[in-house]
């Protein structure tokens, strides 16, 4: 993969994503992807116009908490910058739960993709972009000729991946449930404190 990416003048992660999206054929030799020199040369000659496009990177970092965790955001940005092979156009830092769809940072990412301001969206881990539905985001970005690169891709498959998704789903709903209970408890305590205040004033 590294040799083929070098001949095409692109990052290996971009070539990996193209292979996953079916843009270039490959075969497995053990656990290694192999690319035909004929396919590489055909693509190099311009069969795909994306090859000649400048590499404009958008770096996306996210944490779940609404406050704190600045060190995690900085660490994600530094790791992405250190592995950058193009021009970093924008760094978007977001706060919010992975399953939450309406995140301000994610909305900015989608807007920049649709505007044509970037050619690559890069994240350290896939779940930084979204806990679920990353495949749909990749398909949406591909419509605009933008690829998603994950610095540390998942190595799971089959039952392990299904189990991880299940645990993530349970964790998400458990967090929401506890949050609802906390909010209910706060409202109950406030209501009780207000009632106590009225009783004191009545006395």
pLDDT digits (tens, 9 = 90+) for 15-44: 888 888 778 888 888 888 888 888 888 777
Q: Average model confidence (pLDDT) for the chain? A: 79
pLDDT score of 201: 57
Cα–Cα distance for residue pair 129/151, rounded to 1 Å = 12
Please count the other Cβ atoms lying within 10 Å of the Cβ belonging to residue 177: 10
What are residue 88's phi and psi, to 5 degrees? Answer: -80, 110
Q: What is the dihedral of CA 43, 48, 53, 55, to 10 degrees?
A: -70
Q: What is the pLDDT of residue 59?
A: 97
- pLDDT value at residue 61: 96
Instruction: Say what the pLDDT of residue 21 is.
Output: 78
Per-residue model confidence as pLDDT tens digits over 159-171: 655 565 566 566 5
What was the pLDDT predicted at 165? 58
**pTM, 2 dp:** 0.57
Residue 48: the pLDDT is 47
Residues of the chain with pLDDT under 70: 46-53, 66-68, 98, 155-186, 189-190, 192-203
């Amino acid at each position: 993969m590294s040799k083929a990416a070098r001949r095409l003048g692109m990052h290996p992660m971009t070539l990996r994503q193209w292979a996953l999206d079916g843009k270039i054929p490959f075969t497995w030799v053990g656990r290694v992807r192999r690319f035909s020199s004929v396919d590489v040369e055909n693509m190099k000659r311009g069969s795909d116009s994306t090859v000649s496009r400048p590499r404009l990177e958008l770096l996306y970092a996210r944490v779940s908490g609404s406050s704190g965790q600045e060190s995690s955001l900085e660490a994600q940005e530094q790791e992405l910058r250190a592995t950058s092979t193009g021009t970093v156009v924008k760094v978007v830092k977001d706060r919010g739960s992975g399953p939450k769809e309406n995140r301000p940072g994610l909305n900015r990412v989608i807007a920049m993709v649709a505007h044509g301001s970037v050619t690559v969206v890069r994240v350290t881990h896939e779940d930084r972009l979204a806990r679920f539905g990353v495949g749909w985001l990749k398909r949406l970005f591909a419509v605009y000729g933008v690829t998603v690169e994950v610095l540390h891709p998942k190595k799971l498959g089959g039952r392990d991946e299904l189990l991880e998704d299940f645990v993530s789903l349970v964790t998400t709903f458990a967090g929401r449930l506890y949050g609802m209970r906390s909010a209910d408890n706060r409202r109950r305590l406030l209501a009780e404190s207000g009632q106590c205040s009225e009783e004191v004033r009545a006395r």
